[in-house]
Structure 1
Amino acid sequence: MLEPLWLQAAVGGVLGLLIGSFLNVVIHRLPQMMERQWAEQCAELHGQPAPEQAALNLVTPRSRCPHCGHAIAWYENIPVLSWLALRGRCSQCHARIGARYPLVELATGALFAWCAWRWGITPTAAAWCFFAAVLVALTLIDWDTTLLPDDLTLPLLWAGLMAAALGWTGVPLAQSLWGAVAGYLSLWAVYWAFKLATGKEGMGYGDFKLFAALGAWFGWPALVPIILMASVIGALIGIAMKMTRSLREGGVVPFGPFLALAGLTAMIFGPASILRAIGL
């Protein structure tokens, strides 16, 4: 094991910066890949040939400037540093590159560094780094598209159960299993109660799966503090957006990002600390 502890955190932080760069690709491309898959399924159901499209996955094609198509060289893709060196602009057409790219890398790096500081370079730290990385991706995908892909929520759920079985989360397997069950069924019940009362859908099935995954990672006793924290975060952000008139058309604000942020809060401070913070 690396010593001292700050060196382990530094290693975790550097790895997090690299993973954060990859998460930017996931956040951008995964919804597009889902749309292509839906288009192919629709064409198949109608007995039509699938539309011809260039290959698109998380590896192919190489990252390019969306404005001019310039292929990004390796030295232009170094986390944070390249964005700073390029002053946030494409090296060819000088179109602006959003600040969200380095912010995702920095946030992931900070979360990985914290995990390494808390648990050292261990399987436990690796498990929680995976947890944090998936939640970062889910937060921004849901914020952008109101989608919570099964390709992320279901592996997160199964990983939580496996981590509990291996003793990496400190949560008994029984609590993890019932946490997943209770997490899914609780929001499922809220969904149907709201739909029967109003005729509208208040959330999507992805929220059920995400809450089930959080239950698997923290156990059923943590579900109440997590949902309370998600509600508090959602209320604060919703009020701020309303005051700044930045609500999207229709006033729709996805709940998944708030669940994900509550999960990260629970990872860092612990579910019990959340209850103390809100006076319960």
Structure 2
Amino acid sequence: MLISPVFDAALGGVFGLLVGSFLNVVIYRFPKILERQWDQECAELSGTPLEPQPELTLARPRSRCRQCGHMIRWYENIPVVSYLALRGKCSSCAAPIGIRYPLVELATGALFFFCIYTGGVTPHALAWCGFSAAIVALAMIDWDTTLLPDDITLPLVWAGLIVAALRWNNLRLTDALWGAIAGYMSLWLIYKGFKLLTGKEGMGYGDFKLFAALGAWFGWQALVPIILMASVIGAVVGIAMKMSSSLREGGYVPFGPFLAGAGLTAMIFGPASILEVVGL
């Protein structure tokens, strides 16, 4: 009886590996695309022409080695397998390939496997696969750049509300709606209070939108467990980085990856289990 569910989940996992490979492109290129758009808008407002730049989209140009410019062939871009076959090095110049690339692929594949295995090939499971992919991309982009792009966070909010409206996740639409509202407003109020007291900005608006998205997907009842877990893990990681002198310039740690991690934990184990993890 388990052969079919496991087979379906395995296929889902393989598809997740492919999606993870694409997410690596999104994580690296999308912030650069946004920066170009912002530079273009600033240039138009100031009347200062920009120098022509090479085309950059998620599809073009083809992936290349950052060191030598070697164009990556299709058989060098098979998720995980190519990394192992190349022993983590460029086939042309032997420059090391970051371990993060196969880890993102494996994480996405594992999340897709979990969603299909627990939910079957259903709209419910496929929706959570999409949620997982978006969360992985947001976590990594925020860690690299401290950006949580509206192009991902806002569709994630709407997707959560639509999924609830279609009853694909056993969540009432009213709970999802109030989850989105409470998620956004709670962090916005904390942000405003912190700024009034210190004159500094403690977080970005992207964090509000990501928390709103988590509220839309899990309901308002899950917001307290999620923010508790994100805060505890964020504090532990921040202290560890400070003690090891590995904090980036300005001494900050982006909060988005910890919100994302708490969201994935809630998806896998359920929001209530988070309270047990943090000891409440």
TM-score (norm 1): 0.97
Aligned length: 280
Question: How big is the shift at 1:277?
Answer: 2.7
CA deviation vs aligned residue, 1:166-216 (integer Å, no higher than 9, x gap)? 111111000001110110011010000000000000000000000000000
CA drift at 1:163: 0.6
Residue in structure 1 matched with residue 251 of structure 2 by the alignment: 251
Q: What's the secondary structure of 1:95's corresponding residue?
A: coil
* Distance in 2 separating the partners of 1:63 and 1:278: 42
Tell me what 2:39 maps to: 39
Equivalent residue for 1:232? 232
Q: Deviations over 1:99-151 (max 9, x none)?
A: 00000000101111011111011111110011111111111110011110011
Q: Alpha-carbon deviation of 1:13?
A: 0.7
Whether contact under 8 Å (2:13, 2:109) holds in the other structure is: yes
Deviation at 1:240, TM superposition (A): 2.2
CA distance in 2, matches of 1:4, 1:237: 41
Q: Distance in 1 between the 2:185 and 2:173 partners?
A: 18
- The match for 1:58 is 58
- 1:272 matched to which residue of 2? 272
**AA aligned opposite 1:266:** A
In the TM superposition, 1:101-180 aligns within 5 A as 101-180=101-180
- 1:44–1:50 contact (8 Å) kept in structure 2: no
The residue type paired with residue 235 of structure 2 is: A
**Residue deviations 1:58-103, cap 9 Å, x none?**
1011111111111111000000000110111111111111000000
Question: Secondary structure at 2:250's aligned position in 1?
Answer: helix
Residue segments in structure 2 that go unaligned for 5+ positions in a row:
none
Tell me the amino acid that sits aligned with residue 48 of structure 1.
T
For residues 158 and 53 of structure 1, the distance between their equivalents in structure 2, rounded to whole angstroms, comes to: 34
Residue aligning to 2:48: 48
State the 1:3 CA deviation.
Answer: 4.9
The CA distance in 2 between the partners of 1:196 and 1:239, in whole Å, is 25
- Whether the 8 Å contact between 1:43 and 1:50 is mirrored in structure 2 is yes
Could you say which residue in structure 1 is the equivalent of 2:207? Answer: 207
Q: 1:29–1:58: 8 Å Cα contact kept in structure 2?
A: yes
* Contact in 2 for aligned 1:40/1:51 (Cα 8 Å): no
Q: Is the 8 A contact 1:12 1:112 kept in 2?
A: yes
Q: What's the counterpart of residue 260 of structure 1?
A: 260
Q: Percent identity?
A: 71
Q: C-alpha distance in 1, partners of 2:244/2:114?
A: 33
Please give the root-mean-square deviation of Cα atoms over the aligned residues, in Å. 1.4
Quick one: distance in 2 between partners of 1:21 and 1:106? Answer: 9
Q: Deviation per CA, 1:224-268: give whole Å up to 9, x if none.
A: 010001011112212222232221122110111110000001000
Rounded to whole Å, the distance in 2 between the matches of 1:273 and 1:203 is 26
Q: Which is further off, 64-73 or 243-252?
A: 243-252
- Alignment check: 8 A CA contact 2:232 2:278 kept: no
Residue 279 of structure 1: how far off its partner (Å): 3.2
Unaligned stretches of 5+ residues in structure 1? none
CA distance in 2, matches of 1:257, 1:277: 18
Q: 1:29 to 1:101 in 2, by over 3 A?
A: same
Say whether the 8 Å CA contact 1:25–1:58 is kept in structure 2.
yes
1:36 maps to amino acid:
R
For 1:272 and 1:221, the matched residues in 2 are separated by 9
Deviation of 1:50 after TM superposition, in Å, equals 4.0
Which residue does 1:84 correspond to in 2? Answer: 84
How far did 1:9 drift?
1.5
User: Separation in 1 of the partners of 2:207 and 2:105?
Assistant: 25
